[in-house]
Amino acid sequence: MSTPRSASQRVLSNRVFLWLCLCAINIAVVVLAVLLISIVWQGWGTLSWQFLGNFASRKPSEAGIAASLWGSVWVCTICGVVALPLGIGTAVFLEEFAKKSRFTRIVQTNIMNLAGVPSIVYGILGLTAFARMFGVLGTNADDALSWGDSESLWYVRLPFGSSVLAGGLTLMLVILPVVIISTQEALRSVPGSLRAGAMALGATRWQTVWGITLPAAIPGIMTGAILSMSRAIGESAPLLVLGGILLVFNTPQNLMSDFAILPLQIYNWAGRPQPAFHEIAASAIMVQLVVLLAFNGVAVLIRQKLQKPLQ
């Protein structure tokens, strides 16, 4: 402190700071509350089991979100199931196993950069890599290599085309950098003394990671997972590039099924001229929020199950 200040001055600045913080949180909460209330106000009346079970229709009263709801659930489940192990594995390798070298530095820089890439770019990558497989297997879906009956759960074909699997993998690309970075941060926050203690007792590096470091880092990892899954559910640009399907009269049956997603359905309804479509768009937003909370709920559950108290 260069200039000594009186006690009352310091108390005043403390109070001002407190008020600024309160304002900040209130603005955030009020905006969210206004948004939620207006959505529920608009969408509650048209939300029904029929709305959840019907397919798209030109009549707002008969339109439903069965296809886009289950499309979103399939795509996000695939995305989470692939991205979390892959992302956490990468982070564990970079933090706990890899020696700091020029190679790991390049990888690290690239991951940082990828986290800032607009998601539509991943859409183009997903289209090329997963949906078309670089065109080496032909572009026509009828010529694809396939295994199994197209109606069965285990049907697989190459290239994937604009299927739920291609969609999930594309979203995986979008969230992978975020998962890796947040996992790394969580691992770094685990005190080094814990690792050293485990090593001193003769544990291998793997035993240390599995028994000590990962359980201690689970809260941070799962927070990262929640944030990235929330992003995946709301993402529409990469999937628009991938196929942008809006109307489909089936819920996904297998990994190769065509799919629609909720954000695209909401966007389309909200842009229609008829006000009745705006109302069902609001209902779909409510469903989307529930799906989002459900996915996050799973992450919270995993966190509670896996978290071991540090002693």
Partner 1 sequence: MNTLSLIASLTLLATSSGVHARTQDAAPLKGAIKIDGSSTVYPITEAVAEEFNKSEKKVRVTVGISGTGGGFKRFCAGEVDIADASRPIKKAEAEAAAKSGVEFVELPIAYDGLTIVVHPKNTWCSSLTLADVKKIYSASGTAKLWKDINPTWPAVAIKVYSPGTDSGTFDYFKEVTVGKDGAIRSDISVSEDDNVLVRGVAGDENSIGFFGCAYYFENKEQLKAVGIDNGKGVIMPTVDTIENGSYTPFSRPLFIYINKASAARPEVEAFVAFYLAHATELVNEVGYVKLPAAIYAKVANNWKLRRIGTQFTTAAGDAVTTPLAQAYE
Q: Is 118 in the site for partner 1 (CB under 8 A)?
A: no
Could you give the CA distance from residue 220 to residue 214 in angstroms, rounded to a whole number?
Answer: 10
| Binding residues among 138-167 for partner 1 as defined by CB under 8 A | 139-141, 162
Q: At 55, which amino acid appears?
A: F
CB count, 10 Å around CB of 269?
A: 24
The residue among 62 and 109 lying less far from partner 1, judged by its C-beta, is 62
Q: Is 237 in the site for partner 1 (CB under 8 A)?
A: no
Q: Is 38 in the site for partner 1 (CB under 8 A)?
A: no
Q: Is 244 in the site for partner 1 (CB under 8 A)?
A: yes
Binding marks (x or -) toward partner 1, 52..71, rule CB under 8 A? ---xxxx-------------
Select from 21-29, 68-76, 217-225, 248-256 the region that touches partner 1 (CB under 8 A): 248-256
Select from 208-216, 235-243, 292-300, 301-309 the region that touches partner 1 (CB under 8 A): 235-243
Q: Of 246, 291, 298, 302, which one interacts with partner 1 (CB under 8 A)? A: 246
The distance of closest approach from Cβ of residue 285 to partner 1 in the complex, given in angstroms and rounded to an integer, is 15
Q: Of 146, 237, 278, 291, which one interacts with partner 1 (CB under 8 A)? A: 278
Q: b/e per residue, 109-126, with b = 16+ CB within 10 A?
A: eebeebbeeebeebbebb
Contact 69, 47 (CB under 8 A): no
Angle between helices 164-188 and 102-114 (to 10 degrees): 120
Contact 51, 276 (CB under 8 A): no
Q: Of 272, 286, 291, 300, which one interacts with partner 1 (CB under 8 A)? A: 272
Could you give the CA distance from residue 178 to residue 184 in angstroms, rounded to a whole number?
Answer: 10
CB count, 10 Å around CB of 302?
A: 15
Q: Is 245 in the site for partner 1 (CB under 8 A)?
A: yes
Could you give the CA distance from residue 272 to residue 280 in angstroms, rounded to a whole number?
Answer: 11
- Contact residues for partner 1, defined by CB under 8 A: 55-58, 139-141, 162, 240-241, 243-250, 258, 264, 268, 270-275, 278
